[in-house]
Amino acid sequence: MEYDQASMLVRGSILVDDSPVEQYFMSNPPAFFVTSNKDSIALPKGTPVAVHSSGTGFIRATNTAIGTMAYGVLAEDATIGVGVSVLVQGTIVLTNWNTIAGIPNLSPRAIYYLGTAGHLTSTAPTTPGVIVQAIGRAISPVALELIFDSPILL
């Protein structure tokens, strides 16, 4: 998959009867900024992140604590204390979503929600006291268009 800045489309291939067919998907233009990893561990590309309690840097976003709702996803792997790009708009592409969503491929058209400890889930939380926040919509098995809905506390 690749992003065409001029047309604001994501171009990629999907399989139709085991043959690749080139497709174009509408996407928001990417928007990101650079900030540092203040979590206690290195984080992989695609991790949903929240603002650190100091007001600078980021930590893993989670649906189990107020104040740790997602505002972006990592555009690259993040070593502790090092500045990296955080994508706040656009489309994130991963060839394998297992580390972030627990599955190798996304389900196209599914909405993905903030889960626990920097993970995503296609099942909206229903437990009282948990935060529901849609993060993105799968536009292919490897691409998630970011939407970042306002969080709702159940």
Whole-prediction pTM: 0.80
Average of per-residue pLDDT across 95-121: 94
pLDDT band at residue 117 using 50, 70 and 90 as cut-offs:
confident
Note the pLDDT of residue 31: 81
Asked whether residue 9 carries a pLDDT value surpassing 80, the answer given is no
Tell me what the mean pLDDT of segment 84-90 comes to.
91
Domain locations along the chain: 2-153
pLDDT for residue 69 is more than 60:
yes
Does residue 40 register a pLDDT over 80?
A: yes
The secondary structure element, H or E, covering residue 98 is helix 98-101
149-153: which pairs have CB atoms within 8 A and are 24 or more residues apart? 151/69, 151/114, 153/66, 153/129
- The residues, any chain, with a CB within 8 Å of residue 137's CB and separated by 6 or more, are 109, 110, 111, 112, 144, 145, 147
**Average pLDDT for residues 11-16, to the nearest whole number?**
50
- For the segment 49-63, the average pLDDT, to the nearest whole number, is 92
